[in-house]
Chains A and B, each alone.
Chain A
Amino acid sequence: MNEFIEAQVALGWEQNLRSSYDVVIVGGGGHGMSTAYHLATRHGITDVAVLERGYIGSGNSGRNTTIIRANYGIPEAVRFYQRSVDLYSRLEEETGRWIMHDRKGLLWLVHGTPGTRNERARSIVNQAFGADTVYVTPEEVGEICPEVDMNAGGGEYRVTGGSYSPHAATARHDRVVWALAEGAMKRGVHVHQRTAVTGLLKDGDRVTGVMTDRGPVTAGVTVSAVGGHVSTLAAMAGVRLPIRTHPLQAFVTNHYARTFRPIVASAEMGFYVSQTPRGEMLLGAGIDSQPSYSYRSSYEFLSHCSLPAVTLLPFLRDLTVLRQWTGVCDMSVDMSPIMGYTGVDGFLVTTGWGTWGFKGIPAGGEQMAELIATDRTPELIAPFSLNRFKEDRLMFDPGSTGTTH
């Protein structure tokens, strides 16, 4: 796809890989770039290098389904993601770049009493902690999205209500990465593509930089913003993570000629759908059950995901599948992100972004930048430290990931 990148975004590539930086960020995806961007813009820290093995945004940042929402089930997560929702809505103004941010609203359908109870509870928690989710009746579901077959084809998944989050939005994933990259680069941050990190430099237990296929680079702080391959990097630092890597697939159909406004999801039936700005219907579902680093897509996924989708939204039957793809996701044990210190000096992580990383890009980067600049964990992300597993305070919130796990 050619969106005339160079004409639209002034990315100033730096050719010279210096031998030393204050901060080295491994991984040029959304979270890596956002951390660099916020270091430069909020804290004036520009002696920063972002090292990317492929091209920027080529990992999970380029493979997700671009949904931005804060309708989580636990207070800590609602507050964090609402911060991200707010930052996203200001990102175009702040960067001067059009990221195609579109506030669509998200309809989360339920099919029976347990789901109803869940979504009522979610609405209350959301409202208490700053997100505008409300519980909706079947009639209101019909008003928000007339395309939904409330009888679900006459089967057992009759729609009994749902929750609605007006704040939910989508944005163009590439443009988010590019806008952040441009903002960081024009303030002096180096972004090095095609630069693979092959090892870590250590002084005793302390991480003092990275070894790359272009030579060693020392760093005051090394940050892993790696996606599915994070365990391999962390192991080099002697850090073990509560992360298992699973593939996640998604697909788009051909162009649907009418406007489909909201994002619609059913966690019980296991799919979610939205319309891209080009008119394609974008569908996703749960992760593949096997832990794996394979980018292989499967027919089984297409059928598992399509069946509930065409049951609830019958118009999808007339569309055909255009493209299907796979990313490998760093799934944390409690389905919440892990940000901050690792117990190894000089080595920080922002990981555990699993299938929910895109929505966290602005706030994740902002908070990581503050942590790096002040050497103190900001209050907003303190609950998401790696230490929580040792301290037995998990942020267990699988019902809010929008997919089945």
Chain B
Amino acid sequence: MVLRLACPHCGPRPVEEWTYGEVPDPPDHLTEADERDVDRGFMMGNTEGVKVERWFHAGGCRRWQTITRDTTLD
């Protein structure tokens, strides 16, 4: 079955209704402004495991939601 994300307003809804929102996660050791900008713009943690994410429920309540997901399972 396709991935379902639990919306606090609408309940579990298929991922097709949602838009993924990348949360920039530049590491703390990057202190130089340009380096941080490059990291914010392009680089990704690409977490393999449990991750807190932002998703926009475009096909439902049209609210941004914070959702915790295990990327190795879903």
The interface of chain A, by Cβ under 8 A from chain B, is: 229, 231-232, 235, 240-245, 288-294, 296, 298-301, 333, 389-390
Contact = CB atoms under 8 A, between A and B. Distances in A.
B53 to A, nearest CB: 8
A396 to B, nearest CB: 12
Q: Which of A229, A292, A389 has the most CB of B within 10 A?
A: A292
Interface string B13-56: 01110111010000100000000001101111110100000000
With a 10 A CB-CB cut-off, give which of B15, B19, B42 has the most chain A CB atoms. Answer: B42
Contacts of A290: 3, 15, 20, 69, 74
Nearest to A242: B42
B10 interface: no
A232 to B, nearest CB: 5
Which of the four size classes fits the interface of chain B? 20 to 34
B73 A242 contact: no
Given A294-B71, A294-B73, A243 B3 contact: no
B16 A300 contact: yes
A333 B42 CA distance: 7
B74 A294 contact: yes
A231 B39 contact: no
Chief secondary structure at chain A's binding surface: loop
B44 A241 contact: yes
B16 A289 contact: yes
Given A290-B15, A300-B2, A242 B71 contact: no
A298 B1 contact: yes
A156 B71 CA distance: 37
B1 A299 contact: yes
Contact of A245 (B20, B43, B46): B46
B46 A241 contact: yes
Given A243-B44, A244-B46, A298-B3, 16 more contacts: A231-B48, A232-B48, A241-B44, A242-B43, A243-B46, A245-B48, A245-B71, A288-B15, A289-B18, A289-B19, A290-B3, A291-B71, A292-B71, A294-B74, A298-B1, A389-B41
Contacts of A240: 27, 39, 43-45
Contacts of B27: 240
10 contacts: A232-B48, A240-B43, A241-B46, A244-B22, A288-B3, A289-B18, A291-B46, A292-B71, A294-B74, A298-B2
